[in-house]
């Protein structure tokens, strides 16, 4: 089922999230819906606040980027109750976008690698180091869990330049090819 995507300006994106418990209802169905909604909107990463839930759930599928970033080949994951334990001081700047912030792309600095503790879709615990594009995507989605949106990281000057566009999204004056919640 396709879910509406909550847009920039909706308070749910600023609220932060809570860990889910093992008896979380309909988890399998929610994950399937999140993947379906993300694919339909042509996204590669998606966090629960973007469908209006303050839960620590992220889905990622970077397969479509494998041509440009070989480390993305077959990279389809679910991250539940994730915590970044450590991240590199070395950073890389690359352009990012977000399904909740349509038509805005900004160059964002992210750590080259992260060490992440999380549960998978079967609620099995893992601790892994992710590098390259997966590390960037995880940091972007992790921000959503913390109530942060990628444009928050833009420089003061860039923020000024995109402020009218952000205001338009906040005011619901935006056209999207996918179903949204304004
Ligand atoms: Zn996003």
pLDDT, one tens digit for every residue, the chain (182 residues): 999 999 999 999 999 999 999 999 999 999 999 999 999 999 999 999 999 999 999 999 999 999 999 999 999 999 999 999 999 999 999 999 999 999 999 999 999 999 999 999 999 999 999 999 999 999 999 999 999 999 999 999 999 999 999 999 999 999 999 999 98
Residues less than 5 Å from ion ligand 1, measured at CB: 98
Find the 50 Cα to ligand 1 centroid distance in Å: 8
CA 59 to chain centre: 8
Are the C-beta atoms of residues 142 and 17 closer than 8 Å to each other? no
**Catalytic positions, please?**
141
Are the C-beta atoms of residues 153 and 146 closer than 8 Å to each other? no
Partners of 67 in beta bridges: none
Using the structure block, give the residue that is written with the tokens 């919640």. Answer: 181
Kindly report whether the global pTM for this prediction surpasses the value 0.95: yes
Q: What pLDDT score was predicted for residue 182? A: 83
Q: What pLDDT score was predicted for residue 45? A: 98
Find the 44 Cα to ligand 1 centroid distance in Å: 9
Find the 122 Cα to ligand 1 centroid distance in Å: 24
Find the 161 Cα to ligand 1 centroid distance in Å: 20
Report phi then psi at 132, rounded to 5. Answer: 65, -140
Q: CA-CA distance, 73 to 63, in Å (whole number)?
A: 5
Q: CA-CA distance, 116 to 128, in Å (whole number)?
A: 5
């Amino acid at each position: 089922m396709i879910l509406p995507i909550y847009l920039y300006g909706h308070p749910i994106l600023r609220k932060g999230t809570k860990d889910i418990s093992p008896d979380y209802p309909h988890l399998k169905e929610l994950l399937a819906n999140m993947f379906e909604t993300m694919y339909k909107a042509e996204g590669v990463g998606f966090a629960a606040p973007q469908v209006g839930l303050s839960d620590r759930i992220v889905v990622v599928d970077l397969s479509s980027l494998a041509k440009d970033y070989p480390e993305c080949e077959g990279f389809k994951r679910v991250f539940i109750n994730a915590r970044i334990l450590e991240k590199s001081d070395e950073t890389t700047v690359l352009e990012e976008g977000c399904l909740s912030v349509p038509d805005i792309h900004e160059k964002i600095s992210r750590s080259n690698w992260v060490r992440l503790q999380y549960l998978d879709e079967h609620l099995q615990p893992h601790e892994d180091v992710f590098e390259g594009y997966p590390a960037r995507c995880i940091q972007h989605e992790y921000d959503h869990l913390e109530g942060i949106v990628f444009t928050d990281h833009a420089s003061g000057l860039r923020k000024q330049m995109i402020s009218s566009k952000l205001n338009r999204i906040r005011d619901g004056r935006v056209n999207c090819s996918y179903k949204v919640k304004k």
